[in-house]
Amino acid sequence: MRTDVKKIIAERPKMNRTWQSNTPRVKAVRLDEDGEQFNEDTNHPLQKHQKMRNARLNVLERYLAKRIGSRWDKVFSEICRNADSRSFQGAEMRQAIQCMVAIDCWIEGKTVLSCDRQGGTVEVKGFYVHPTRGLLRRK
């Protein structure tokens, strides 16, 4: 795994114009020919553009896809080497991995089952750790 993967996941993509002002501007109220307000929607100022976290997790998905068939212990230890849980970005990476990979699984018949967030039983979709062999798999 790349050593700079934390920065790749957390960095924001460049978008919009660079010369655009960051301060919100008040919309001008549109008036018709008689001086009446044209549209009620133009009565409020522009909302501030909130900066949101947009983690780009496709890097982790591609990494896991390349490691299918490998021992989960080795894959997870390599992730932990790059994702220190004491830092925000490292903890975010580990949490994303926990959401992507079903670790506590069992087999009933030919289906692989796991627990969901509410405690119910669901069929595994996506990455999972094989319950007997400990290998990373994808369904």
What tens digit of pLDDT does each residue of 43-97 get? 554 444 555 556 678 888 999 999 999 999 999 999 888 888 888 888 888 888 9
Residue with tokens 């509410």: 118
Name the amino acid, one letter, at 123. E
| pLDDT for the residue 44 | 54
For the stretch 12-31, pLDDT in tens is 655 555 555 566 665 566 66
The reported pLDDT for the residue numbered 130 is: 93
Contact between residue 32 and residue 38 where contact means Cβ atoms under 8 Å apart: yes
pLDDT at residue 30 in the model:
66
**52: Cβ contacts below 8 Å, ≥ 6 apart:** none
pLDDT greater at residue 37 or residue 117: 117
Name the burial class of residue 30, with classes exposed (0-12), middle (13-18) and buried (19+) by CB atoms within 10 angstroms of its CB. Answer: exposed
Give the DSSP per-residue string, 28-72. PPPB-TTS-BS-GGGGSPPPP--------THHHHHHHHHTTTSBH
pLDDT at 14: 56
CB atoms within 10 A of CB 13: 6
Nearest-angstrom CA–CA distance, 118 and 133: 27
